[in-house]
Amino acid sequence: MDVSHSTDTVNRIRQERILHNWRQKDLADELGTTVGTVKRWERGNQQPSAYFRIKLCALFGKSAEELGLVAVDNPSALPSADQDVSDVKQTCSSPEEGNGVWNVPYTRNPHFTGREDLLDHLDQRLSAERPEEPGSMMCQVELTQPQAIKGLGGIGKTQIAVEYAYRARKQNRYTHILWINASSEEAVMTSFVGLVRLLPTFSEQDETDQHKLAMAIKRWLEGYRTRWLLVFDNADDLSVIQPYVPQQGYGSVLLTTRAHAVGSFAVPLEVEMMGLMEGTQFLLHRAQHLDASDEEQNEASNIVIALDGFPLALDQAGAYIEETGCGFGEYLQLYEQHHAKLLARRGRQATHYPDSVVTTWELSFQKIEQAYPAATKLLQLCAYLSPDHIPEELFTKAAEHWPPILQQAVADQFTFNELLEALLAFSLIKRLTQEHLLSLHRLVQAVQLDRMNIGEQHKWAERVVCAVNTLFPKDPKDNVDTWPQCLRYLEQVQACDQLIQKYNLSFPEAADLLDRAGTFLRDHASYILAETLYQRALAIREQQFEPHYSDIVSNLNNLAVLYTQQGKYERAEPLYKQAISICERYLGINHADAARSLNNLAILYWNQGKYGLAEPLYQRALTIREQLLGANHPHTAKLLNNLANLYLLQGKYEKAEPLIKRAISIWEHHLGADHPTTAMGLNNVTELYRCQGKYKEAEPLIKRAIAIWEHHLGVDHPDTARGITSLAILYREQGEHAKAESLFLQGLTIRKKHLGEEHLDTIETLYELAELYREQGKYREAELLIKRVIANWEQNLGTHHLETARGITSLALLYQEQGKHREAEPLFLQALAIQEQTLTEHHTDLATTLFGLARLYEWQRNLKKATDLYQRALAIRTRVYGPYHPRTLEVSESLHDLR
């Protein structure tokens, strides 16, 4: 053997491998041999056998002479310099591979993971295109539309196409699989020229005009009577490849593209982010940690979440972990501190996709910036928003907050659409047309942020907070009509909250936004989130150079109401007192904010059963409102209504009735006899008459209220549901159970639809329905409902809230009625412990629990305990309802029978 020839062979094989960016393992996998064999070839210790010489010629598209494979034992087995390499490719075969042309420039990715559904879908589409076998007697057929794998740069489009090609090759789906680099027209020409020597029976090899040569290859494919697959990779500008796509024949066309709009040219198949499980497996595979422990798998999943399932970023992370030997947890910590550097770092073994995330997108960003400067501003803006659901009207209706160039671009729908088109062309955003929402990947946001200096970042953060504040509804409390809009912007509010913290934003608009959003969350029982927003809003307002005391008082009240609703009275009370103190010191004791604070503190005492403390506060607040607004103002009527409800709860019906009727009269005069607020007063009069057993007087009033709500708000409005529930309770107390059940279910349906399954009003309806079933002896149905009610109250209000105690008492009574005394006793004691800690000795809920537990002790023959509890319950009901009320007499008779 001629050593010089051997050395030449070594240099040329190694040179070709390096030109293809292949490792020795990649070349070995492609040839179906071992890494050791390739190493021996490249060291000159061994010559490729005749079989591998043929495969090397076919693989690199070179003749034997060009590869230095001429000094061999059997020269006749090798192609000569005059022999067409395509002939070699036609004779090249293996048990798994066909005899056709194969010029895919990538080895099969050993780390490819998942994407099975997408590959199956692609396989089904391409298989369906040519159901008939090509035959010599058949005429040419028109090709169906090309299939387009589309998506954001780095999402894995090329890797999916490569994997499909290798699978199709192994399954002999196509005779020829041809790959065209379509990143530019020049690249397309170069790829077509490279096919000339590979195609069998191609007769126009001497053509020197590249365009004519490409068109000749197109015609050759259209006339070739066997299956073929033509892949156009990186076809971002579809106009470049359109002239070269065959229109007929027995083949299929597949393209990868970042373009969003491909529908008129190709059938799109969009590539999404990897799911959590799929992404975790890919990361473990890429990092060479397939034997990872459970802890490592969890840490890997956290990386997938942080990188939002983006394949290229996961590949970079896996490469870093493999090359540096760091752990998954350590990488996540590094990413949090140095994400810009890690997203720009590709790794040393990136043979399949050499560009990093940053490099991949940078060219797109530059092109957009040159052609559509306003689109760049829009992308920068989106970097500060919650990325999944960005309302389009945020750009148009809050335009005064944006830079002039962006204001002009969003001035009308036509220019706005042009703006979005520029970003859609690179798949940098997605548009949900029906919902009028945009979305983009979190890593696009991260790279955009890294391209801006700190001054630009701070300015954008201020703009976004002001814009969201402009569009978030001004008065979400109790106004359900605004709730859909609040919900639409809730994610953006949370994004603004992060911006406020990150950039230390402390202007009034920031506090206003957090405060209003907190109220919306509070009304939907999202207490933890609401508390955080309220506290941050309060901190901003208190640190203002010239604090607006009215806003501070409002904020204190909102936070205190939140604590009151949760039963955290010890935290609410000092906030109300602080608000009252600020009013007295800075705003005046007769200020409207003082009246609100006094009213809210009274409600707190009312909830605690401290009626003696609540009444004078209500009266003080009423006096202020009468002085400021007049005795007949609608806001004055609200305080009349609240004071009446306090008297109603105490059984002081003779005091309650004139106040409620006076409030109704004011509302009728100022708002109208059929106004929804007037209906609320009618609902309260109904409650007054129901407590007195005046059912005939109560029924027409609540029906009138329901009619008003239905007329103004609709038959399925939550306020209408309130009236329906009140009427149901009225029927239940009269023993008309069928009517009551129908109404409870109707009200429940409305509240579920508009407020949700877990809203407190919905749960209150479930509680009342459970009480109906208990009265009917439907214990199984009642138990299921009341347990669900208790679980909700425990989760949303806390295990020591009065509402939770009320539910527990109801469950105890349910068991007691079934003779399940052992189950009932601990529940009575649990409820009693909550109530005695929170309530005074004259609250009706406490009396109900005492009475139930007393009857249980009577059944146990523990007469001393029973007597003590009966006496306590009797004292409460006598004080609240009077000695001759049915509820008082119920306890009195039980105590008499015991004695």
Q: What is the pLDDT of residues 18-57, one digit of tens each?
A: 767 677 777 877 777 776 677 777 777 677 766 677 778 7
Residues contacting residue 248 through CB under 8 Å, at least 6 positions apart: 140, 141, 142, 143, 222
Q: What percent of the chain has pLDDT over 90?
A: 53
Q: What percent of the chain has pLDDT over 70?
A: 91
- Which phi and psi angles does 427 have, rounded to 5°? 55, 30
Q: Which CATH architecture has domain 116-128+141-270?
A: 3-Layer(aba) Sandwich (3.40)
Question: Which is higher by pLDDT, 657 or 24?
Answer: 657
Residue 544 confidence (pLDDT) above 70:
yes
Answer whether CATH 1.10.260.40 is correct for domain 3-91: yes
Domain with CATH 1.10.10 in the chain: 357-452
From edge to edge, which strands make up the β-sheet containing 228-233?
176-181, 228-233, 251-257, 147-150, 267-270
Q: Identify the pLDDT of residue 697.
A: 95
Residue 773 confidence (pLDDT) above 70:
yes
Domain with CATH 1.10.260.40 in the chain: 3-91
Query: Looking at the domain covering 357-452, what would its CATH class be?
Result: mainly alpha
Domain with CATH 3.40.50.300 in the chain: 116-128+141-270
Separation of alpha carbons 135 and 420, rounded Å: 48
Residue environment code for 706-733, b if the CB has 16+ CB neighbours within 10 A, otherwise e: bebbbeebeeebbbbbbbbbbbbbbbbe
Tell me the Ramachandran region of residue 288: left when phi exceeds 0, alpha when psi lies from -120 to 50, beta otherwise: left
Question: Which is higher by pLDDT, 62 or 504?
Answer: 504
Q: Identify the pLDDT of residue 51.
A: 62
Q: Identify the pLDDT of residue 95.
A: 29
Residue 83 confidence (pLDDT) above 50:
no
Separation of alpha carbons 377 and 367, rounded Å: 13
Q: How confident is the model at residue 527 (pLDDT cuts 50, 70, 90)?
A: confident
Q: How confident is the model at residue 96 (pLDDT cuts 50, 70, 90)?
A: very low
β-bridge partners, 255: 148, 232
Question: Which is higher by pLDDT, 130 or 804?
Answer: 804
- Any idea what the Cα angle at residue 39 is, between residues 33 and 42, rounded to 5°? 115
> Residue range 1-8: average pLDDT?
45
> pLDDT tens digits, residue range 235-292?
988 989 999 999 888 889 999 999 888 877 888 999 999 889 999 999 998 898 888 8
DSSP β-ladder status, 437-439 and 390-391: antiparallel
> Residue range 133-149: average pLDDT?
63
Contact indicator for 224, 203 with CB cutoff of 8 Å: no
Residues contacting residue 376 through CB under 8 Å, at least 6 positions apart: 365, 368, 369
Q: Identify the pLDDT of residue 138.
A: 43
Q: Provide DSSP, 773-841.
A: HHHHT-HHHHHHHHHHHHHHHHHHT-TT-HHHHHHHHHHHHHHHHTT-HHHHHHHHHHHHHHHHHHS-T
Q: Identify the pLDDT of residue 80.
A: 34
Q: Identify the pLDDT of residue 477.
A: 66
Q: Which amino acid is at 540?
A: I
Q: What rounded mean pLDDT belongs to the chain?
A: 86
